[in-house]
Amino acid sequence: MYFMHYKSYTGIILKHQPHREADEVITFWSFEEGKARFLVRGVRKSASKLRGAVSPLSWLHLYVIPSEYLPVVYNVKVIKTYRFPRSDLRHLAMVFNFFEMVLRSTADRQPNHKISLLLRKVLDYLEQAREDMDLLIYFQLRLFESLGYSLQMQSCVSCQNPFDRRKSNFLSLHAGGLICFDCSRMIADVQNVENEVIECLLKHTRNQPFSGAAVGDPSRPASTPKRDELRRQAEADPAKKKTNQILSDFFFLLTERRLNSQKFLQENFLAEA
């Protein structure tokens, strides 16, 4: 009788959590309902038909039936599996950084089509290209915009005077963007930032795609990055590293939560050698 009332969801698993002896509770992001939790019964048993399908690195179609505790997944169709090298911690760290940001910044069962498309886009990109600092910055800014927040960098948020790189410029996360020199004396929480940081933020707030070839561009073949690729980029372009830190602080301001995955990235791939 329950099968007459099943629902289907298309999306990706953000988190696995063991439940009882052989079950799992998954946190799933879907086009239909946004973030939701489902119960997968017996999935940790070796004979379970769902064991290989319920993967955190696959775009899935779930078939779910109602239950008193949590909706129960009774069938799964794999739409796409991302072929990241399992031994490559850089790709995996960045993917789970994206997942954690979505987990911590969204409410349950609040669909957001922009976030769904953003997740699909960055995962498709990462599968065929190296990870880079621009992708981190791009994802955070687009996530903020999808949630209704954005940093205004084209002009001062107080007086609306346009950005002028000939003068000293400031940033206020509480005010939501750029503060010119004249207005900086009237706002308490401003921080002085280099023009290169402002221009890096401007580059990504103008709806430009992230750096490198576009997703699916055959002119840019997939490559195996060096072990310290993210660290090398951070050292070669300190403005990107500072920009990423500013966005991490903005995320904390919005959610009052620090990201465990961001700390791992900082300590292992973005820290100075």
- In this prediction, residue 273 has a pLDDT band, given cuts at 50, 70 and 90, of very low
Residue 264, pLDDT score: 77
- In this prediction, residue 222 has a pLDDT band, given cuts at 50, 70 and 90, of very low
- In this prediction, residue 84 has a pLDDT band, given cuts at 50, 70 and 90, of confident
Q: What mean pLDDT is predicted for residues 224-246? A: 69
pTM of the model: 0.85
CB atoms within 10 A of CB 46: 6
**48-57, 141-150, 181-190: lowest mean pLDDT where?**
48-57
Query: What does the alpha-carbon distance between residue 144 and residue 253 come to, in Å, rounded to a whole number?
Result: 12
User: Does 265 score more than 90 pLDDT?
Assistant: no
Higher pLDDT: 193 or 91? It is 193
- In this prediction, residue 227 has a pLDDT band, given cuts at 50, 70 and 90, of very low
The 10s digit of each residue's pLDDT in 38-80 is 999 999 898 888 988 888 889 999 999 998 889 999 999 999 9
Strand duo 191-193 + 23-30: pairing: unpaired
User: Does 271 score more than 50 pLDDT?
Assistant: yes
Q: How far is CA 123 from the centre of its chain?
A: 10
Biggest distance spanned by C-alpha atoms of the chain: 70
Residue 68, pLDDT score: 86
- In this prediction, residue 87 has a pLDDT band, given cuts at 50, 70 and 90, of low
Q: Is 217 left (phi over 0), alpha (psi -120 to 50) or beta?
A: beta
